[in-house]
Structure 1
Protein backbone atom coordinates (compact mmCIF):
# COMPACT_ATOMS: atom_id res chain seq x y z
CA UNK A 1 0.00 0.00 0.00
CA UNK A 2 1.35 3.44 -0.90
CA UNK A 3 1.89 5.36 2.34
CA UNK A 4 3.46 8.36 0.66
CA UNK A 5 1.84 11.65 1.64
CA UNK A 6 3.84 14.17 -0.38
CA UNK A 7 5.96 14.17 -3.53
CA UNK A 8 7.66 17.52 -4.08
CA UNK A 9 10.15 18.69 -6.70
CA UNK A 10 12.65 21.33 -5.59
CA UNK A 11 13.22 23.66 -8.54
CA UNK A 12 15.49 26.66 -8.90
CA UNK A 13 15.29 29.94 -10.77
CA UNK A 14 18.80 29.16 -12.04
CA UNK A 15 21.78 26.97 -11.33
CA UNK A 16 23.75 27.65 -8.12
CA UNK A 17 20.81 29.15 -6.22
CA UNK A 18 21.14 26.78 -3.25
CA UNK A 19 18.69 24.02 -4.19
CA UNK A 20 20.73 21.39 -2.35
CA UNK A 21 20.99 23.49 0.81
CA UNK A 22 17.25 24.16 0.81
CA UNK A 23 16.51 20.49 0.07
CA UNK A 24 18.76 19.50 2.99
CA UNK A 25 17.03 22.04 5.21
CA UNK A 26 13.58 20.75 4.24
CA UNK A 27 14.62 17.13 4.87
CA UNK A 28 16.09 18.12 8.21
CA UNK A 29 12.98 20.04 9.23
CA UNK A 30 10.72 17.10 8.31
CA UNK A 31 12.96 14.73 10.30
CA UNK A 32 12.67 17.03 13.33
CA UNK A 33 8.90 16.57 13.06
CA UNK A 34 9.43 12.80 13.43
CA UNK A 35 8.33 12.14 9.86
CA UNK A 36 9.87 9.76 7.35
CA UNK A 37 11.45 11.48 4.35
CA UNK A 38 13.47 10.37 1.33
CA UNK A 39 15.62 12.74 -0.71
CA UNK A 40 16.30 12.17 -4.41
CA UNK A 41 18.69 13.93 -6.77
CA UNK A 42 18.06 11.98 -9.97
CA UNK A 43 20.55 13.87 -12.17
CA UNK A 44 23.86 15.42 -11.14
CA UNK A 45 26.77 16.86 -13.10
CA UNK A 46 30.18 17.33 -11.55
CA UNK A 47 31.53 14.27 -9.78
CA UNK A 48 34.67 12.56 -8.57
CA UNK A 49 35.55 8.89 -8.70
CA UNK A 50 35.31 7.34 -5.24
CA UNK A 51 35.94 3.60 -4.85
CA UNK A 52 35.04 3.00 -8.48
CA UNK A 53 31.84 5.06 -8.43
CA UNK A 54 31.14 8.59 -9.64
CA UNK A 55 29.90 10.62 -6.68
CA UNK A 56 28.43 14.12 -6.80
CA UNK A 57 28.94 16.24 -3.69
CA UNK A 58 25.33 17.42 -3.58
CA UNK A 59 24.02 13.89 -4.12
CA UNK A 60 26.16 12.70 -1.22
CA UNK A 61 24.75 15.42 1.04
CA UNK A 62 21.20 14.36 0.21
CA UNK A 63 22.14 10.70 0.83
CA UNK A 64 23.72 11.46 4.22
CA UNK A 65 20.58 13.19 5.48
CA UNK A 66 18.20 10.63 4.01
CA UNK A 67 20.05 7.85 5.85
CA UNK A 68 18.94 9.50 9.11
CA UNK A 69 15.31 8.83 8.23
CA UNK A 70 13.67 5.70 9.68
CA UNK A 71 14.07 2.71 7.38
CA UNK A 72 16.67 4.27 5.08
CA UNK A 73 19.95 3.81 6.97
CA UNK A 74 21.29 1.30 4.43
CA UNK A 75 20.27 2.90 1.14
CA UNK A 76 22.92 3.14 -1.57
CA UNK A 77 24.21 6.21 -3.37
CA UNK A 78 22.64 5.12 -6.66
CA UNK A 79 19.19 4.99 -5.04
CA UNK A 80 19.48 8.73 -4.40
CA UNK A 81 21.45 9.78 -7.49
CA UNK A 82 21.11 7.25 -10.34
CA UNK A 83 22.46 9.52 -13.11
CA UNK A 84 25.85 11.04 -12.29
CA UNK A 85 28.18 12.68 -14.80
CA UNK A 86 31.82 13.65 -14.29
CA UNK A 87 32.03 17.14 -15.88
CA UNK A 88 30.21 20.03 -14.22
CA UNK A 89 28.31 21.00 -17.39
CA UNK A 90 24.72 20.91 -18.63
CA UNK A 91 23.43 17.36 -18.00
CA UNK A 92 22.25 16.74 -21.56
CA UNK A 93 25.71 17.61 -22.91
CA UNK A 94 27.42 15.49 -20.24
CA UNK A 95 25.11 12.59 -21.11
CA UNK A 96 25.86 12.91 -24.82
CA UNK A 97 29.61 12.91 -24.17
CA UNK A 98 29.26 9.84 -21.93
CA UNK A 99 27.10 8.00 -24.45
CA UNK A 100 24.22 7.82 -21.98
CA UNK A 101 20.56 8.28 -22.85
CA UNK A 102 18.97 11.13 -20.93
CA UNK A 103 15.21 11.21 -21.45
CA UNK A 104 11.88 11.02 -19.69
CA UNK A 105 11.62 7.31 -20.44
CA UNK A 106 15.10 6.71 -19.01
CA UNK A 107 14.27 8.66 -15.86
CA UNK A 108 11.12 6.58 -15.45
CA UNK A 109 13.15 3.40 -15.88
CA UNK A 110 15.84 4.35 -13.38
CA UNK A 111 13.89 6.18 -10.70
CA UNK A 112 11.82 4.20 -8.28
CA UNK A 113 9.81 6.33 -5.87
CA UNK A 114 10.41 4.68 -2.48
CA UNK A 115 7.72 4.05 0.08
CA UNK A 116 8.07 7.08 2.35
CA UNK A 117 5.82 9.63 4.01
CA UNK A 118 7.60 12.42 2.15
CA UNK A 119 9.65 12.42 -1.03
CA UNK A 120 11.75 15.47 -1.96
CA UNK A 121 13.25 15.49 -5.46
CA UNK A 122 15.99 18.02 -6.14
CA UNK A 123 16.25 19.24 -9.71
CA UNK A 124 19.36 20.11 -11.72
CA UNK A 125 20.08 23.64 -12.88
CA UNK A 126 17.04 25.77 -13.59
CA UNK A 127 13.44 24.71 -14.19
CA UNK A 128 13.77 24.14 -17.96
CA UNK A 129 17.07 22.25 -17.88
CA UNK A 130 17.19 20.14 -21.07
CA UNK A 131 17.25 16.35 -20.97
CA UNK A 132 17.87 16.14 -24.71
CA UNK A 133 17.03 18.08 -27.88
CA UNK A 134 13.27 17.86 -27.33
CA UNK A 135 12.59 17.17 -23.64
CA UNK A 136 13.22 19.14 -20.45
CA UNK A 137 13.35 18.20 -16.78
CA UNK A 138 10.11 20.17 -16.37
CA UNK A 139 8.42 17.83 -18.87
CA UNK A 140 9.22 14.88 -16.60
CA UNK A 141 7.87 16.71 -13.52
CA UNK A 142 4.72 17.52 -15.49
CA UNK A 143 4.28 13.88 -16.53
CA UNK A 144 4.64 12.78 -12.90
CA UNK A 145 2.26 15.49 -11.66
CA UNK A 146 4.58 16.34 -8.79
CA UNK A 147 4.08 19.50 -6.72
CA UNK A 148 6.86 22.10 -6.80
CA UNK A 149 8.76 24.26 -4.33
CA UNK A 150 10.76 27.03 -6.00
CA UNK A 151 14.10 28.28 -4.69
CA UNK A 152 14.59 31.91 -5.74
CA UNK A 153 18.23 32.99 -5.79
CA UNK A 154 17.96 36.56 -4.56
CA UNK A 155 19.99 38.80 -6.87
CA UNK A 156 19.44 41.48 -9.48
CA UNK A 157 17.24 39.90 -12.16
CA UNK A 158 15.56 37.41 -9.83
CA UNK A 159 12.11 38.97 -10.26
CA UNK A 160 12.11 38.12 -13.96
CA UNK A 161 13.62 34.67 -13.40
CA UNK A 162 11.12 33.87 -10.66
CA UNK A 163 8.03 34.97 -12.57
CA UNK A 164 9.03 33.21 -15.79
CA UNK A 165 9.48 30.01 -13.79
CA UNK A 166 6.26 30.43 -11.82
CA UNK A 167 4.24 31.04 -14.97
CA UNK A 168 5.60 27.96 -16.70
CA UNK A 169 4.88 25.82 -13.62
CA UNK A 170 1.31 27.12 -13.56
CA UNK A 171 0.91 26.77 -17.34
CA UNK A 172 1.64 23.06 -16.97
CA UNK A 173 -1.13 22.67 -14.41
CA UNK A 174 1.31 21.87 -11.61
CA UNK A 175 0.82 23.04 -8.05
CA UNK A 176 3.40 25.46 -6.68
CA UNK A 177 3.37 24.66 -2.97
CA UNK A 178 5.59 27.56 -2.00
CA UNK A 179 8.85 29.37 -2.62
CA UNK A 180 11.99 30.12 -0.66
CA UNK A 181 14.01 33.33 -0.93
CA UNK A 182 17.67 32.33 -0.66
CA UNK A 183 20.34 35.02 -0.39
CA UNK A 184 23.00 32.68 -1.71
CA UNK A 185 24.87 35.50 -3.50
CA UNK A 186 25.21 37.75 -0.45
CA UNK A 187 23.53 41.04 0.33
CA UNK A 188 21.08 42.37 -2.27
CA UNK A 189 20.41 46.04 -2.89
CA UNK A 190 16.80 46.90 -1.96
CA UNK A 191 16.21 43.37 -0.74
CA UNK A 192 13.06 44.23 1.23
CA UNK A 193 11.40 45.82 -1.80
CA UNK A 194 12.26 42.82 -3.95
CA UNK A 195 10.91 40.40 -1.35
CA UNK A 196 7.75 42.45 -1.03
CA UNK A 197 7.19 42.41 -4.81
CA UNK A 198 7.71 38.64 -5.04
CA UNK A 199 5.37 38.02 -2.10
CA UNK A 200 2.65 40.08 -3.78
CA UNK A 201 3.09 38.53 -7.22
CA UNK A 202 3.69 34.84 -6.48
CA UNK A 203 0.37 33.31 -5.51
CA UNK A 204 2.01 30.53 -3.47
CA UNK A 205 3.25 31.34 0.05
CA UNK A 206 6.83 32.20 0.90
CA UNK A 207 8.10 29.30 3.02
CA UNK A 208 11.12 31.19 4.31
CA UNK A 209 13.81 33.80 3.79
CA UNK A 210 17.31 32.35 4.16
CA UNK A 211 20.14 34.82 4.82
CA UNK A 212 23.56 34.58 3.21
CA UNK A 213 25.75 31.84 4.67
CA UNK A 214 29.27 33.15 5.22
CA UNK A 215 30.95 29.77 4.83
CA UNK A 216 30.81 27.72 1.65
CA UNK A 217 31.43 24.63 3.80
CA UNK A 218 27.93 24.33 5.26
CA UNK A 219 27.61 22.24 8.41
CA UNK A 220 24.73 20.65 10.32
CA UNK A 221 24.40 23.84 12.38
CA UNK A 222 23.79 25.87 9.22
CA UNK A 223 21.16 23.38 8.06
CA UNK A 224 19.50 23.47 11.49
CA UNK A 225 19.39 27.27 11.36
CA UNK A 226 17.85 27.31 7.88
CA UNK A 227 15.39 24.56 8.85
CA UNK A 228 14.15 26.74 11.70
CA UNK A 229 13.42 29.56 9.26
CA UNK A 230 11.17 27.40 7.05
CA UNK A 231 7.41 27.30 7.56
CA UNK A 232 6.42 23.68 6.96
CA UNK A 233 2.79 24.00 8.04
CA UNK A 234 1.77 23.81 4.40
CA UNK A 235 3.51 20.43 4.02
CA UNK A 236 2.96 18.62 7.30
Structure 2
Protein backbone atom coordinates (compact mmCIF):
# COMPACT_ATOMS: atom_id res chain seq x y z
CA UNK A 1 0.00 0.00 0.00
CA UNK A 2 1.14 3.56 -0.69
CA UNK A 3 2.43 5.37 2.38
CA UNK A 4 0.11 8.31 2.99
CA UNK A 5 1.81 11.14 4.89
CA UNK A 6 0.17 14.42 5.92
CA UNK A 7 1.03 17.52 7.90
CA UNK A 8 -1.74 18.52 10.29
CA UNK A 9 -2.15 22.12 11.37
CA UNK A 10 -4.81 24.22 13.06
CA UNK A 11 -6.38 27.63 12.70
CA UNK A 12 -4.82 28.57 16.03
CA UNK A 13 -3.74 27.20 19.41
CA UNK A 14 -6.29 24.87 21.01
CA UNK A 15 -8.11 24.25 17.72
CA UNK A 16 -7.98 20.54 18.54
CA UNK A 17 -5.14 19.35 16.31
CA UNK A 18 -4.02 16.54 18.58
CA UNK A 19 -7.52 15.23 19.26
CA UNK A 20 -8.29 15.13 15.56
CA UNK A 21 -4.88 13.66 14.70
CA UNK A 22 -5.35 10.90 17.27
CA UNK A 23 -8.83 10.19 15.94
CA UNK A 24 -7.60 9.99 12.34
CA UNK A 25 -4.83 7.61 13.41
CA UNK A 26 -7.40 5.57 15.34
CA UNK A 27 -9.62 5.43 12.27
CA UNK A 28 -6.66 4.16 10.26
CA UNK A 29 -5.93 1.48 12.83
CA UNK A 30 -9.56 0.32 12.69
CA UNK A 31 -8.96 -0.25 8.97
CA UNK A 32 -5.94 -2.40 9.88
CA UNK A 33 -3.48 0.19 8.59
CA UNK A 34 -0.09 0.70 10.20
CA UNK A 35 0.28 4.16 11.69
CA UNK A 36 2.93 6.65 12.81
CA UNK A 37 2.91 10.18 14.11
CA UNK A 38 5.41 12.97 14.53
CA UNK A 39 5.40 15.96 16.85
CA UNK A 40 8.67 17.63 15.80
CA UNK A 41 8.69 20.13 18.66
CA UNK A 42 6.44 20.31 21.71
CA UNK A 43 6.47 22.93 24.45
CA UNK A 44 4.63 22.50 27.73
CA UNK A 45 6.36 19.21 28.55
CA UNK A 46 6.61 17.67 32.02
CA UNK A 47 9.64 16.24 33.77
CA UNK A 48 9.41 12.44 34.11
CA UNK A 49 11.91 9.70 35.01
CA UNK A 50 12.28 9.07 31.29
CA UNK A 51 12.92 12.74 30.51
CA UNK A 52 10.66 15.55 29.29
CA UNK A 53 7.35 14.23 28.02
CA UNK A 54 4.53 16.13 26.30
CA UNK A 55 0.90 15.05 26.77
CA UNK A 56 -0.01 15.66 23.12
CA UNK A 57 2.96 13.64 21.92
CA UNK A 58 2.09 10.81 24.32
CA UNK A 59 -1.47 10.78 23.00
CA UNK A 60 -0.17 10.51 19.44
CA UNK A 61 2.26 7.78 20.47
CA UNK A 62 -0.63 5.72 21.86
CA UNK A 63 -2.21 5.63 18.38
CA UNK A 64 0.96 4.45 16.62
CA UNK A 65 0.96 0.82 15.51
CA UNK A 66 3.40 -0.86 15.61
CA UNK A 67 4.71 1.01 18.65
CA UNK A 68 7.01 3.95 18.05
CA UNK A 69 9.76 5.18 20.38
CA UNK A 70 8.97 8.53 21.98
CA UNK A 71 12.23 10.14 20.81
CA UNK A 72 11.41 9.26 17.19
CA UNK A 73 7.99 10.86 17.50
CA UNK A 74 8.92 13.95 19.53
CA UNK A 75 12.64 14.68 19.12
CA UNK A 76 12.44 18.08 20.84
CA UNK A 77 10.40 18.44 24.04
CA UNK A 78 10.52 21.76 25.86
CA UNK A 79 9.29 22.52 29.36
CA UNK A 80 7.73 26.03 29.23
CA UNK A 81 4.16 26.13 27.92
CA UNK A 82 4.94 29.01 25.56
CA UNK A 83 5.63 29.47 21.85
CA UNK A 84 8.21 26.88 20.71
CA UNK A 85 10.83 29.40 19.57
CA UNK A 86 10.67 31.18 22.91
CA UNK A 87 10.80 27.93 24.88
CA UNK A 88 13.75 26.77 22.78
CA UNK A 89 15.57 30.05 23.35
CA UNK A 90 15.13 29.71 27.11
CA UNK A 91 16.37 26.10 26.98
CA UNK A 92 19.34 26.93 24.76
CA UNK A 93 18.04 24.64 22.01
CA UNK A 94 18.44 25.56 18.35
CA UNK A 95 15.28 24.93 16.32
CA UNK A 96 15.89 24.73 12.57
CA UNK A 97 13.92 23.37 9.67
CA UNK A 98 17.00 21.46 8.54
CA UNK A 99 17.35 19.53 11.80
CA UNK A 100 13.64 18.86 12.20
CA UNK A 101 13.29 17.73 8.58
CA UNK A 102 16.06 15.16 9.04
CA UNK A 103 14.29 13.77 12.10
CA UNK A 104 10.88 13.69 10.42
CA UNK A 105 12.28 12.02 7.30
CA UNK A 106 13.75 9.35 9.56
CA UNK A 107 10.28 8.90 11.02
CA UNK A 108 8.74 8.66 7.56
CA UNK A 109 11.30 6.02 6.64
CA UNK A 110 9.25 3.62 8.76
CA UNK A 111 6.89 3.63 5.75
CA UNK A 112 3.71 3.16 7.75
CA UNK A 113 0.46 3.10 5.80
CA UNK A 114 -0.77 6.34 7.40
CA UNK A 115 1.46 8.96 9.02
CA UNK A 116 0.61 12.35 10.49
CA UNK A 117 3.12 15.05 11.40
CA UNK A 118 1.55 17.58 13.73
CA UNK A 119 2.61 21.18 13.96
CA UNK A 120 2.31 23.47 16.97
CA UNK A 121 -0.24 26.25 17.23
CA UNK A 122 -1.18 27.63 13.82
CA UNK A 123 0.45 27.63 10.38
CA UNK A 124 2.92 30.48 10.91
CA UNK A 125 4.26 29.59 14.36
CA UNK A 126 7.96 30.60 14.38
CA UNK A 127 10.83 28.17 14.90
CA UNK A 128 13.49 30.88 15.03
CA UNK A 129 14.00 34.41 13.75
CA UNK A 130 13.74 33.41 10.08
CA UNK A 131 11.85 30.10 9.87
CA UNK A 132 8.38 28.84 10.76
CA UNK A 133 6.84 25.40 11.17
CA UNK A 134 5.14 25.94 7.82
CA UNK A 135 8.62 25.84 6.28
CA UNK A 136 9.01 22.31 7.60
CA UNK A 137 5.83 21.18 5.84
CA UNK A 138 7.12 22.87 2.69
CA UNK A 139 10.54 21.19 2.83
CA UNK A 140 8.87 17.81 3.36
CA UNK A 141 6.37 18.61 0.56
CA UNK A 142 3.46 17.25 2.54
CA UNK A 143 -0.24 17.75 1.82
CA UNK A 144 -1.94 19.51 4.72
CA UNK A 145 -4.94 18.71 6.88
CA UNK A 146 -6.45 21.80 8.51
CA UNK A 147 -8.27 21.56 11.84
CA UNK A 148 -10.68 24.45 12.18
CA UNK A 149 -11.53 25.31 15.77
CA UNK A 150 -15.18 26.23 15.24
CA UNK A 151 -16.03 29.31 17.28
CA UNK A 152 -16.53 33.02 16.66
CA UNK A 153 -13.81 34.21 14.26
CA UNK A 154 -13.09 30.81 12.73
CA UNK A 155 -14.08 31.83 9.19
CA UNK A 156 -11.38 34.46 8.98
CA UNK A 157 -8.76 32.21 10.60
CA UNK A 158 -9.61 29.29 8.35
CA UNK A 159 -9.59 31.31 5.12
CA UNK A 160 -6.32 33.04 5.95
CA UNK A 161 -4.70 29.71 6.83
CA UNK A 162 -5.92 28.10 3.61
CA UNK A 163 -4.60 31.06 1.62
CA UNK A 164 -1.21 30.80 3.34
CA UNK A 165 -1.01 27.07 2.61
CA UNK A 166 -1.80 27.72 -1.06
CA UNK A 167 0.71 30.59 -1.16
CA UNK A 168 3.35 28.17 0.10
CA UNK A 169 2.60 25.85 -2.81
CA UNK A 170 1.15 23.02 -0.74
CA UNK A 171 -2.04 21.06 -1.20
CA UNK A 172 -4.84 21.41 1.32
CA UNK A 173 -5.92 17.77 1.40
CA UNK A 174 -8.93 18.28 3.64
CA UNK A 175 -10.29 20.09 6.67
CA UNK A 176 -12.04 19.09 9.88
CA UNK A 177 -14.50 21.25 11.77
CA UNK A 178 -13.91 20.82 15.50
CA UNK A 179 -16.64 22.55 17.49
CA UNK A 180 -14.86 24.31 20.37
CA UNK A 181 -17.72 26.55 21.44
CA UNK A 182 -20.99 24.55 21.41
CA UNK A 183 -23.11 27.70 21.59
CA UNK A 184 -21.56 29.32 18.52
CA UNK A 185 -24.21 31.52 16.94
CA UNK A 186 -25.51 30.22 13.58
CA UNK A 187 -23.34 27.10 13.84
CA UNK A 188 -24.79 25.41 10.77
CA UNK A 189 -24.41 28.58 8.71
CA UNK A 190 -20.80 28.93 9.80
CA UNK A 191 -20.07 25.32 8.83
CA UNK A 192 -21.74 25.88 5.46
CA UNK A 193 -19.57 28.97 4.94
CA UNK A 194 -16.43 26.99 5.76
CA UNK A 195 -17.47 24.36 3.26
CA UNK A 196 -18.03 27.06 0.64
CA UNK A 197 -14.78 28.96 1.15
CA UNK A 198 -12.24 26.26 1.90
CA UNK A 199 -10.81 24.73 -1.30
CA UNK A 200 -10.72 21.17 0.01
CA UNK A 201 -13.15 18.45 1.09
CA UNK A 202 -14.49 18.29 4.62
CA UNK A 203 -13.26 15.17 6.44
CA UNK A 204 -15.90 15.56 9.12
CA UNK A 205 -17.41 17.86 11.73
CA UNK A 206 -16.82 16.89 15.34
CA UNK A 207 -19.38 18.25 17.81
CA UNK A 208 -18.48 19.46 21.27
CA UNK A 209 -18.08 16.18 23.17
CA UNK A 210 -18.07 15.79 26.98
CA UNK A 211 -15.54 12.93 26.79
CA UNK A 212 -13.57 13.35 23.56
CA UNK A 213 -11.92 9.92 23.29
CA UNK A 214 -10.27 8.98 20.00
CA UNK A 215 -12.80 6.27 19.16
CA UNK A 216 -15.72 8.64 19.71
CA UNK A 217 -14.17 11.39 17.60
CA UNK A 218 -13.18 8.93 14.86
CA UNK A 219 -16.83 8.06 14.31
CA UNK A 220 -17.37 11.60 12.94
CA UNK A 221 -14.43 11.45 10.51
CA UNK A 222 -13.69 9.81 7.18
CA UNK A 223 -10.38 8.70 5.73
CA UNK A 224 -11.81 7.93 2.30
CA UNK A 225 -10.71 11.21 0.74
CA UNK A 226 -7.20 10.95 2.21
CA UNK A 227 -6.72 7.36 1.09
CA UNK A 228 -8.65 7.53 -2.17
CA UNK A 229 -6.98 6.76 -5.46
CA UNK A 230 -8.48 9.84 -7.09
CA UNK A 231 -6.56 12.37 -5.00
CA UNK A 232 -2.98 13.51 -5.50
CA UNK A 233 -0.92 11.72 -2.87
CA UNK A 234 2.59 12.65 -1.79
CA UNK A 235 4.48 9.38 -1.49
CA UNK A 236 7.79 8.68 0.16
CA UNK A 237 9.34 8.15 -3.26
CA UNK A 238 8.23 11.60 -4.41
CA UNK A 239 9.74 13.23 -1.30
CA UNK A 240 13.18 11.64 -1.71
Give TM-score scaled by structure 2 length.
0.90
Give the drift of 1:184: 2.2
Give the drift of 1:135: 0.5
Does the aligned pair in 1 maintain the 2:179–2:206 contact within 8 Å? yes
CA distance in 2, matches of 1:79, 1:44: 13
After superposition, the C-alpha distances for 1:133-160 in whole angstroms (9 at most, x for unaligned) are 1110001111111000000001111100
Residue in 2 that maps onto 1:149: 145
When the two chains are superposed, the root-mean-square deviation of aligned CA atoms in Å is 1.3
SS at match of 1:123: strand
1:96 maps onto 2:89 in alignment: yes
CA distance in 1, matches of 2:126, 2:90: 15
Does the aligned pair in 1 maintain the 2:3–2:111 contact within 8 Å? no
* Count of aligned pairs between the two proteins: 224
Give the drift of 1:76: 1.7
SS at match of 1:235: helix
CA distance in 2, matches of 1:153, 1:117: 27
Give TM-score scaled by structure 1 length.
0.91
1:225 maps onto 2:216 in alignment: yes
Give the drift of 1:214: 2.0
CA distance in 1, matches of 2:27, 2:180: 19
Residue in 1 that maps onto 2:168: 172
Does the aligned pair in 1 maintain the 2:146–2:172 contact within 8 Å? yes
1:161 maps onto 2:153 in alignment: no
Residue in 2 that maps onto 1:200: 196
1:87 maps onto 2:80 in alignment: yes
- Displacement over 2 Å in runs of 4+: 108-111, 184-187
CA distance in 2, matches of 1:82, 1:185: 33
Residue ranges of structure 2 left out of the alignment (5+ in a row): 228-240
Residue in 1 that maps onto 2:183: 187
Residue ranges of structure 1 left out of the alignment (5+ in a row): none
SS at match of 1:95: helix
Residue in 2 that maps onto 1:36: 34
CA distance in 2, matches of 1:190, 1:12: 22
1:51 maps onto 2:49 in alignment: yes
1:138 maps onto 2:129 in alignment: no
Give the drift of 1:87: 0.6
After superposition, the C-alpha distances for 1:51-82 in whole angstroms (9 at most, x for unaligned) are 1400000111111111xx1xx23x32111111
1:214 maps onto 2:207 in alignment: no
